[in-house]
Chain A
Amino acid sequence: MKILVCISHVPDTTSKINFIDNNTRFDTTGVQFIIGPYDDYALARAIELKETSGATVTVLNVGTADTEPTIRKALAIGADDAIRVNADPTDSYFVASQIAEHAKGFDLVLMGRESIDFNGGVVHAMVGEMLGIPAISPVMKLDIEGTTVKMTKEIEGGKEMVEASLPLVAGCQEPIAEWKIPNMRGIMSARTKPLKVVEPKAVDKLIVAQKFELPAPKGAVKMISPDNVAELVTRLKTEAKVL
């Protein structure tokens, strides 16, 4: 079985978000980039499937050369080889089009349910549509029996047990697998694993980001005595107007 894991290269959760060039560009100064947390779950499940069923795992990232350390980390965790589509991932449709271009021939395409930068949460569904195969998300459990895939997906207020046939696309989230940390052997072997760089397919720009904005700064917290909780109720009613 051939598994493709699509990873995003995103600022660490703790990163301070700032923009430069008149709020038209993300400020990368001092920002540490990581494999998207949801993509990390997808990768971990793929590696488990590799260990139990002898699958091969290819990692794909749409990104500029800056993303290569992130891709190497995925190889160190256990992926066999990698593809980097040499482009800035500016919108979901563009990224999905690039993934679909390279996903043909894979039995299973795994990725996170969303990236934590643009939070579109739609790439898996778009890829499924482009390839004409089922796309399920957010998947919390995924097991394969022959060509049948049994999954548990989260829905508002509960979960749904779903079955589909390979090939398919799954957008993953916890607790599908435990995140894996690369060991020294993995880090050493990742240096020599194949990483193919390909140029992007031409795609029409359907949406264009014009500018970015930060939320208005929050005021200081108003502390209320634990002996006077009635004051909190009054303030929530009259000041915050949320009761």
Chain B
Amino acid sequence: MTTLVFVEASEGKIKKTSLEAISYAHAMGGSVVAIALGTVDKAELESIGKYGATKVLHAADAKLDHPVIQVYSSVLIQAMQQENADNLILANSSLGTPVAAKVAVKTGAAFASNVVELPNTASGFVVKRSIYTGKAFSFVEMKTAKKVIAIRKNAAEMKETGGSAAITAFTPTLNDADFNTKILSTEKATGEISLPEANIVVSGGRGLKGPEHWGILEELAKTLHAATGCSKPVSDMGWRPHHEHVGQTGVKVAPQLYIAIGISGAIQHLAGVNSSKCIVVINKDADAPFFKAADYGIIGDAFEVVPKLTAAIQAAK
């Protein structure tokens, strides 16, 4: 069995979710071939082998620096054909999932997104998917020979195997007609930890009373090497950018640790965080519904508790 893994990169660096996908593919068994598109740092390409890929295809054409979904899906299909791959595995992301969907339709492969566990192959090929916004799971049998699987972030453990991979240039045929969407510009927060990929997320709500008070939250996030998030009202009021909005209609996160500060815990917010391994809630309202979903809670004024928490973490380092 050969599995192709699509490796996403941003500003030349491989995304953690893609290394998780490589680890997942390695744990499935068989041989693992990774493919990276566009400009990617050489050291980053070399690091892929540590997680279980034995070969890395690199399509370095600068035309592939812009992630046009139609083009990416076409390139992945060509790589699957060249490697005679049985499966395509990638991260469940705003890029990975639509690319995977197109590959699945074009190749007639079954496709499962939001997958959270390794497949059970005892009878058939069954994967576990997260559904109802994290409130349940579904076990689905994938009935085709070729399979496409998108892994939910933080669902597969990144494991170093001690191996290495040969890096091979890959030159796909690029069809001009596939460049059917034009990326005019991109705005990205630089120097920040990516919210969907973060191991720790520190989020603030209306309890912080205004954007001018975000410093205490950012200080805590910096100490924890965490990403910052916010509740929907905070994003709606323009205190924080929309891409930080955590919740059902915003970003859904699944970190190891989620710290909610001054967020009451509306059901729509909980839907975006309920896959977190551990939830800490800090709120001065003892009746805040979020405490019911939390592992640890502190009833107290955020402006007093958060700086103390930052100091305690620094002291414990």
Binding site for B on A (CB under 8 A): 11, 13-14, 17, 19, 37-38, 91-93, 96, 116-126, 128-130, 133-138, 140, 150, 153-165, 173-175, 205-215, 218-219, 221-226, 229-230, 232-237, 240, 242-243
> Chain A's interface: helix, strand, loop or mixed, by majority?
mixed
Q: Is B136 an interface residue (CB 8 A)?
A: yes
Pair B136/A209 contact, Cβ less than 8 Å: no
Count of residues in B whose CB is under 8 Å from the partner chain:
92
A42-B280 Cα distance, complex, nearest whole Å: 35
Cross-chain contact A125 with B98 (CB below 8 angstroms): yes
Q: Are B298 and A223 in contact (CB under 8 A)?
A: yes
| Residue of B140, B183, B192 touching A209 (CB-CB under 8 A) | B140
Q: How far is the CA of A154 from the CA of B65 in the complex (A)?
A: 17
Q: How far is the CA of A229 from the CA of B132 in the complex (A)?
A: 34
Q: In the complex, what residue of chain A is closest to B100 when comparing beta carbons?
A: A122
Smallest distance from the beta carbon of B49 to chain A beta carbons, Å?
Answer: 25
15 A-B residue pairings within 8 Å (CB atoms): A17-B132, A117-B132, A119-B132, A120-B114, A158-B189, A160-B183, A160-B186, A174-B242, A207-B111, A209-B140, A213-B136, A215-B135, A229-B309, A232-B312, A242-B256
Q: A122-B104, A137-B98, A221-B291 are in contact. List 13 more A-B contacts (CB 8 A).
A: A38-B249, A96-B105, A116-B133, A118-B129, A118-B131, A120-B113, A121-B113, A160-B187, A212-B131, A213-B128, A226-B305, A230-B316, A243-B313
* Cα-based distance from A13 to B270 in the complex (angstroms): 10
B268 touches A125 (CB 8 A): no
Contact (Cβ within 8 A) B195 A135: no
Residues of B within 8 A of A159 (CB): 186-187, 242-243
A17 to B110, CA, bound (A): 26
Given A136-B181, A162-B183, A208-B143, are A221 and B294 also a contact pair (CB < 8 Å)? Answer: yes
Does the CB pair B248–A157 fall under 8 Å?
no
Instruction: Tell me, yes or no, whether B271 is within 8 Å of chain A by CB.
Output: yes
Chain B residues closer than 8 Å to A173, beta-carbon distance: 249
Whole-angstrom CA separation of A13 from B73 in the bound complex: 33
* CB contact between B114 and one of A119, A150, A163, A235 (< 8 Å): that residue: A119
Are the C-beta atoms of B132 and A210 separated by less than 8 Å?
A: no
Question: Given A14-B267, A236-B257: A140 and B242 within 8 A (CB)?
Answer: yes
Contacts of B287 in A (CB 8 A): none
| A14 to B277 alpha-carbon distance, docked (Å) | 22
**Which residues of A have CB within 8 Å of B299?**
223, 226
> Which residue of the partner chain B has the closest CB to A165?
B180
Query: Using a CB–CB distance below 8 Å, which chain B residues touch chain A?
Result: 10, 69-70, 73, 92-95, 97-102, 104-106, 108-114, 126, 128-144, 180-189, 192, 194-197, 200, 224, 242-243, 248-249, 256-257, 267-268, 271, 274, 277-278, 280-281, 291-301, 304-305, 308-309, 312-313, 315-316
Instruction: In the A-B complex, list the 5 residue pairs whose CB atoms are closest, starting with the nearest.
Output: A226-B300, A158-B188, A125-B101, A125-B98, A122-B101
Contact (A215, B181) CB under 8 Å given A13-B267, A158-B188:
no
When distances are taken between beta carbons in the complex, the residues of chain A under 8 Å from B315 are: 230
Among A17, A210, A233, the residue within 8 A (CB) of B309 is A233
**Nearest opposing residue in chain A for B94, CB measure:** A155
Collect the chain A residues with CB atoms within 8 Å of residue B294's CB: 221
Q: Is the CB of A134 within 8 A of B101?
A: no
CB of B243 within 8 A of CB of A130, answer: no
Q: Is the CB of B182 within 8 A of A162?
A: yes
Which one of B105, B132, B141, B292 lies within 8 Å of A221 (CB-CB)? B292
B97 A121 Cβ-Cβ under 8 A = yes
How far is B257's CA from A14's CA once the two chains are assembled, in angstroms? 24
Output the least CB separation between A101 and chain B (Å): 14
- Residues on A with C-beta less than 8 A from B257 are 236, 240, 242-243
Is B113 a contact of A163 with CB atoms below 8 Å? no
In the assembled complex, the Cα of A191 lies from the Cα of B298 at a distance in Å of: 52
Asked if A161 and B185 make an inter-chain contact with CB atoms under 8 angstroms apart, the answer reads yes
B105 touches A130 (CB 8 A): yes
Q: Do A240 and B298 have beta carbons less than 8 Å apart?
A: no
Q: How far is the CA of A128 from the CA of B101 in the complex (A)?
A: 10
A residues within 8 A CB of B194? 156-157
Of the residues A119, A130, A140, A235, contact of B296 by C-beta under 8 Å: A235
Q: Tell me which residues across on chain B come within 8 A of A126, comparing CB atoms.
A: 101-102, 104-105
| A163-B140 in contact (CB<8A) | no
Nearest Cβ on chain B to A13's Cβ, whole angstroms = 6
Q: Which residue of B lies closest to A161 (CB)?
A: B184
Could you tell me if A134 and B70 are in contact, using CB atoms closer than 8 angstroms? yes
CB-CB under 8 A from B295, the residues of chain A are: 218-219, 221-222, 240
Distance (Å) between the CB of B187 and the closest chain A CB?
5
Residues of A within 8 A of B243 (CB): 154, 156-159
Residues of B within 8 A of A209 (CB): 138-140
Complex alpha-carbon distance, A153 and B185, angstroms: 11
Bound together, the chains give a CA A38 to CA B249 distance in angstroms of 7
